A and B are shown apart, each in its own frame.
Chain A
Amino acid sequence: MNAMNHTTTAYNFGFLDEYAKKEVRRAILKAIAIPGYQVPYASREMPMGRGFGTGGLQLTLSLIGPDEVVKIIDQGSDDSVNAVNLRQFIEMTCPGISTTTRTTECTLIQSRHRIPERPLTATQIIILQVPYPDPLVVVEPSEDKRKTMHGEADYSRLLVKLYEDIVKFDEITISHRYPTRINGHYVIDPSPIPRWDVPKLHDSAALILFGAGREKKIYAVPPHTKAEPLAFSDVPFRVEDFRDAAGQRRACARCGSKDSFLDEFVSDSGSKTYQCSDSDWCDGQLLRAAQAQGEPA
C-alpha cells in the first residue's frame, strides 16, 4: 500500500491516514459543489488542542502533495507562534514539501484571520481556520432549526442584528466574521477575517476553503463565485478606512503602504503606531523601495 511505502517514520505522509484524507477530500468536493454549504465531516484528533487550527490543518494535510509549496499565516504574520508551530509540524510530517513566506511562491496557504493583500492566483488554494462556522449561531441556538433556516435562505434574523447595530451605533459594528452570502443563497461565517478581507472572497481567482475542526464542518467559496456581505440597500457594506482624526489615511510605519490592512501597536508611553498586518506584503514593499533606490531611473 501507498501508505506503507512512504513511511520512513512511524507516521504516514501528512500525518493523517489515507482513509481520513479521502474522507476530507470528499467533503471538500461536496463543499465546492454547493458553495457556502457547511459539509459535516469526521474531524480527526490532531496532536494539538481543538481551536488551534485543527480544521485548517486537516484540510492542508489532505490536499498536500510532495511538490507543494506551503505558506502558513497567523494574523497576517508568518512568524507568530501558531504559524511557526503549524509550519514545523507540516515540515515534520510531510517530508519533501517546501515552505515559504512569500505569497507569490506558494501553492497552498493555511491562514488564520487574514487573506494576503496580494491578489491570489488560480493556481493557489487558501485554507482558512474557522472557530465558528455557522453565522446563525448568534440568533438561533438549535442546530436543527439553523439547518432549516439555511435551507430556506431565511437570514432575516441576521439582518435584524445589523438593524439593531445601526439603531444603537449609527453603523454596522461587526469587525470580523462578517456574514456573507455566497452564490446568492447560503450565508457563511467567513472565519475571523476582518471586514477588509471580505471583498477578497468575491470573484476570487483562488479556491477558498474553510475548515472548522472543533465544529466538524468544511465549506468553500469556489473560484469566481459571488460573495456579497449582508447589508441594507441604503446602508452599504464598507471596509475599515484607517483614517486619523484629520481624515488622512494612515500609512504603515515600516513600509509606508497606504493600501493595506493595518495593525495598531500601543507603546508603553501610550503613543500608537500602525503597521501592515500582512508581513510578507510589508517586506515586499520595503524590497521594492530598496530596489527602486538602488537603480535610479
Chain B
Amino acid sequence: MNKILEVRNLSKIYGPGCPQCLDSTGPESDTNLCPHCRSVVAIHGVSFDLFEGEILGVMGESGSGKSTVVKALYFDQAPSGGEAIFYDSPANAPEGKHDKQHNLFALNSAQQRWLRNHRFGMVYQNPNLGLNFNISAGGNIAERLLMSDLMDYGAIRERAKALLERTEVLLSRVDDLPKDFSGGMQQRVQIAKALATQPPLLFLDEVTTGLDLSVQARILDLILEIQQELKTAMVVVTHDLGVIRLLTGRAIVMKYGRVIETGLTDQILEDPQHAYTQRLVASAL
C-alpha cells in the first residue's frame, strides 16, 4: 500500500504562547488553555499516516482539536508547527514538475491553492462553509472545475450533472440555489463538489452531524460507495462512534489537543486502553 499523507508533530496554538504552554495543557492537566499566558493549545504533537484508499477516523469530544487537524491540512488555518507530506501519484504531478512529494506547509500560497483545488477535497459540517449559497448547485460544482482549469462550458455542465446524479441529487434541481435545499441534499451537493476533480484525498468534517438518522445512513452509504469506487483516501472527523465504526479502518482518539490513543478501529472500540476512550466507548453503549 502506498502512503498518501504523512503528518508529524502538527501543532496549532492560538495566542502568544509561552514556554510552559505545552507542559501545562493536555489530557493530564485536563485543559487546553495555558494558565500562564492564556493561549489555547488547540493541537500539539499530532502525527499519523494515511494510505491510499484508506479511511482514518479522528474522534474526540468538542474542542479536542479534531477539526483543527483537517483545517490545517486543507490550508484553512496555518499550523504553528509540525509538517505534513502529501505523496501525489507521479502521473498527477503538476506540469513541469517530476516531484510527487509535497511538503504541505513549506509550499507558497499559490502552490497550496493548486493542491487544494486539484488534489484535495473537503466536506464541512456546515454546508455554508463549503458551498456558495448565492450560486446554483451546478455553479458550485462548476466553480471547483473552473479552479482546476477546465474551460469548456459543455464539459463542465456534463460533469456537474454526472456528479449530482452520482450523489443522488435530483437533476431537475441542478440550477436551483443550495439554500433552498434540505440539509441532507446540501451535504450531498457538498460531497459532489468535493469529488468534482476526483481528488485522491478527501477530508470529511462531521458530515452527518445534525442530519436525521435515515439521511445520515444514506450519506454514509454514499461515502463508502465512493471510497470503493474511486479508492479515495479519507480523513473522517466525527464525535459519533457509529460513524467511526461504520466507515473507518483505523482511528485516532484526541483529547485536549493531544492524541491519546491510536489503532485499528475495532480494537479501539472493543478494547479501549486509555481511560478517556474507555469512558467514551462506555457512554456510547
Where the two chains meet, the residues of A that have a C-beta atom closer than 8 Å to any C-beta of B are 148, 151-152, 154, 156-157, 159-160, 163-164, 166-168, 232-235
Contacts and interface: CB of A to CB of B under 8 A. Distances in A.
A98 to B, nearest CB: 48
B266 interface: no
B162 interface: no
A168 B136 CA distance: 10
Nearest to B108: A152
A163 B113 contact: no
A233 B109 contact: no
Interface stretch (B49-57, B137-145, B201-209): B137-145
B39 to A, nearest CB: 25
Contacts of B109: 148, 152
Contacts of A154: 113, 147
Q: Which of B109, B113, B153, B157 has the most CB of A within 10 A?
A: B153
Interface in B117-165: 132, 135-136, 138-139, 142-143, 146-147, 151-157
Q: Which of A151, A157, A163 has the most CB of B within 10 A?
A: A163
Contacts of A152: 109-110, 113
Nearest to B156: A163
**Interface of A: prevailing SS:** helix
B175 interface: yes
Given A160-B135, A164-B135, A167-B136, A232 B152 contact: yes
Interface in B61-111: 109-110
B146 A163 contact: yes
15 contacts: A148-B109, A151-B110, A152-B113, A156-B146, A159-B146, A159-B151, A163-B138, A163-B156, A164-B139, A166-B153, A167-B157, A232-B151, A232-B153, A233-B151, A235-B153
Contacts of B175: 167-168
